């Protein structure tokens, strides 16, 4: 994946998160995983996502609901993240890609249905569903660093204000991605070389932040989420179909199926070398 294509991917995906408070990693992985191994993408994009999340927390620190974050969300997601991190030792990339594609398709279809439905007040989930959803979000975040959709499913029902929603979720991603980083470093997905690439991607990130901030203030949130969900659905279907086709025909190339999630990468591996 060339540097221009990767920069464009960062611009679009992080524009989405700057506007809505979530979605950058789902968008970036759904598109990027069609061309590169999952962990190679994570090694480059998670540090960039950390920069964005820290910025959004500082920008909206007055709106962060620290009580909600510390008592009702972060502990449960951290528990799931531990399980997800353990899963990365045994989940093969050939299975992980279609599984991630199926996850994106289901989430995008649900989000599209919700966005198109008549506006109604969301009710908090029953406690069992809330706990299960957040632990599940942690598991997915531990494997793919994309626990956002399930976390949003729970949090949107308890954080109706869009400013509190974005700021609190951004604080959550600082915590969760801070916990994911050691695993990526240990597995060789984050190296001095990938950090150099991440630093270069701060330029399109900055542009994405500027455009996303304007969108957050000006755009109709419902229409924005319809567009994002529709694009995710199309991209997810493409990723699912392509990875299943590669799996069924036994194509083991890195671009087709990736490597074992959490497998070690050589010191020279960067996202720009995976084509």
Tell me which DSSP letter residue 169 carries: H
Q: Tell me the CA distances in angstroms from 188 to 14, 77, 147, 185, one per residue in order.
A: 24, 24, 22, 5
Give me the pLDDT at residue 198, please: 94
Residue 239 CB contacts under 8 Å (≥ 6 apart), including other chains: 30, 31, 33, 34, 97, 98, 100, 101, 104
Q: What is the DSSP string of 40-98?
A: HHHHHHHHHHHHHHHHHHHHTGGG--HHHIIIIIHHHHHHHHHHHHHHTTT--HHHHHH
Residue 149 CB contacts under 8 Å (≥ 6 apart), including other chains: 22, 26, 107, 111, 137
Res. 152 pLDDT band, cuts 50 70 90: confident
Q: How far apart are the first and last CA of the chain?
A: 5
Mean of the pLDDT values across residues 56-65? 93
Mean of the pLDDT values across residues 75-90? 91
Q: Is residue 82 predicted with pLDDT exceeding 90? A: yes
Mean of the pLDDT values across residues 35-50? 88
Tell me which DSSP letter residue 28 carries: H
Q: How many other CB atoms are found less than 10 A from the CB of residue 214?
A: 13
**Beta carbons of 10 and 69 less than 8 angstroms apart:** no
Six-digit token pair at 103?
């996850």
Give me the pLDDT at residue 36, please: 82
Q: pLDDT tens across 183-228, in order?
A: 999 989 999 999 999 999 999 999 998 998 888 777 676 776 677 6
More confident residue, 143 or 200: 200
Give me the pLDDT at residue 120, please: 57
Mean of the pLDDT values across residues 155-179? 87
Mean pLDDT value across the chain: 81
Q: Burial level of 64, CB count in 10 A (0-12/13-18/19+)?
A: buried
Q: Is residue 271 predicted with pLDDT exceeding 50? A: no
Q: Range with the lowest mean pLDDT among 30-34, 56-60, 163-167, 253-257?
A: 253-257
Query: Greatest CA span in the chain, whole angstroms?
Result: 53
pTM (2 decimals)? Answer: 0.77
Give me the pLDDT at residue 252, please: 47
User: Comparing C-alpha atoms, which of 58, 44, 40 is closest to residue 13?
Assistant: 44
User: Comparing C-alpha atoms, which of 232, 241, 169, 194 is closest to residue 39?
Assistant: 194
For the chain, state the CA radius of gyration: 17
Give me the pLDDT at residue 251, please: 55
Q: pLDDT tens across 101-135, in order?
A: 888 788 788 878 877 877 555 677 889 989 999 99
Give me the pLDDT at residue 221, please: 67
What is the sign, positive or negative, of the torsion defined by CA atoms of 191, 195, 201, 206? positive
Task: Say what percent of the chain tops pLDDT 90.
Answer: 32
Give me the pLDDT at residue 272, please: 45
What's the CA gap between 10 and 207, in Å, rounded?
10
């Amino acid at each position: 994946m060339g540097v221009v294509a990767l920069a464009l991917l960062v611009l679009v995906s992080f524009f989405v998160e700057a506007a809505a408070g979530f979605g950058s990693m789902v968008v970036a992985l759904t598109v990027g995983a069609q061309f590169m191994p999952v962990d190679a993408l994570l090694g480059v994009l998670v540090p960039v996502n950390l920069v964005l999340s820290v910025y959004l927390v500082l920008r909206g620190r007055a709106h962060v609901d620290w009580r909600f974050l510390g008592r009702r969300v972060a502990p449960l997601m951290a528990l799931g993240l531990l399980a997800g991190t353990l899963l990365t030792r045994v989940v093969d990339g050939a299975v992980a890609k279609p599984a991630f594609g199926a996850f994106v398709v289901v989430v995008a279809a649900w989000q599209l249905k919700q966005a198109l439905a008549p506006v109604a007040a969301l009710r908090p989930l029953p406690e069992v569903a809330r706990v299960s959803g957040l632990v599940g979000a942690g598991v997915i975040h531990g494997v793919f660093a994309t626990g956002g959709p399930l976390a949003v499913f729970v949090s949107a029902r308890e954080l109706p204000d869009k400013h509190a929603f974005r700021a609190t979720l951004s604080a959550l991603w600082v915590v969760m991605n801070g916990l994911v980083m050691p695993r990526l470093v240990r597995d060789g997905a984050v190296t001095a070389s990938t950090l150099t690439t991440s630093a270069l991607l701060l330029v399109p990130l900055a542009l994405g932040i500027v455009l996303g901030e304007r969108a957050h203030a000006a755009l109709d949130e419902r229409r924005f989420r319809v567009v994002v969900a529709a694009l995710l659905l199309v991209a997810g279907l493409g990723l699912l179909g392509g990875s299943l086709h590669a799996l069924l025909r036994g194509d083991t190339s890195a671009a087709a199926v990736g490597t074992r999630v959490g497998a070690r990468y050589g010191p020279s591996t960067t996202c720009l070398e995976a084509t």
